[in-house]
Amino acid sequence: MTDRSHLIGHTYTPYTFPVEHGKVREFAGAVKDDDPVYRDVEAARAAGYAHLPVPPTFSAVTSHWAVRDTDVLGLDLRRVLAGGSEWEYLGDVVAGEWMTVRSRIADVQYKTGSRGPMTLVITEYDFVNQHEETVLRLRSTVIELGEQ
């Protein structure tokens, strides 16, 4: 197994992205969420939001904006699985806002499971809005299975 322990603490280049009306609507459709607050501004305002709020896992769209740093992990995509994620909601995120994403490799773990040895890479993301408020935290685990 490739030793990646030295990557713990690695910080990715921060990036800023706009929360777009059309993207909110597209994402809600892709996850089959028919709540009108994700497509109708009037429904969103009636629910108390300044504009369309974002679905709970909308943070996924940041992969469209992330800065493509040098691939420090060097994972083999054929052996990569998503492990899991945890979102912490600290404030509203609505269309029209700007988010800055600061992320770092929080941990690298080695385990042996039913599918043999595996490497777990845990990344933490802070989402900070244009008012410098941290409105969302995300912790995500990616698994690379051992070579067959």
Q: Which residues bind another protein (CB under 8 A)?
A: 23, 26-33, 35, 37, 47-48, 53, 55-57, 60-64, 77-89, 148
Q: Which is nearer to another protein, 10 or 23 (CB)?
A: 23
Q: Considering the complex, what minimum distance in angstroms separates the CB of residue 110 from another protein?
A: 18
- The single-letter code of the amino acid at 148 is Q
CA 27 to chain centre: 13
Q: Considering the complex, what minimum distance in angstroms separates the CB of residue 82 from another protein?
A: 4
Q: Which is nearer to another protein, 27 or 127 (CB)?
A: 27
- Please tell me the distance from the alpha carbon of residue 11 to that of residue 124, in angstroms, as a whole number: 10
- The residues pairing with 5 across neighbouring beta strands, listed in sequence order, are none
Using CA of residue 33, residue 36, residue 40, residue 43, what is the dihedral sign?
A: negative
Nearest Cα to Cα of residue 138 among 122, 126, 130, 129: 126
Q: Which is nearer to another protein, 1 or 90 (CB)?
A: 90
Q: Considering the complex, what minimum distance in angstroms separates the CB of residue 116 from another protein?
A: 13
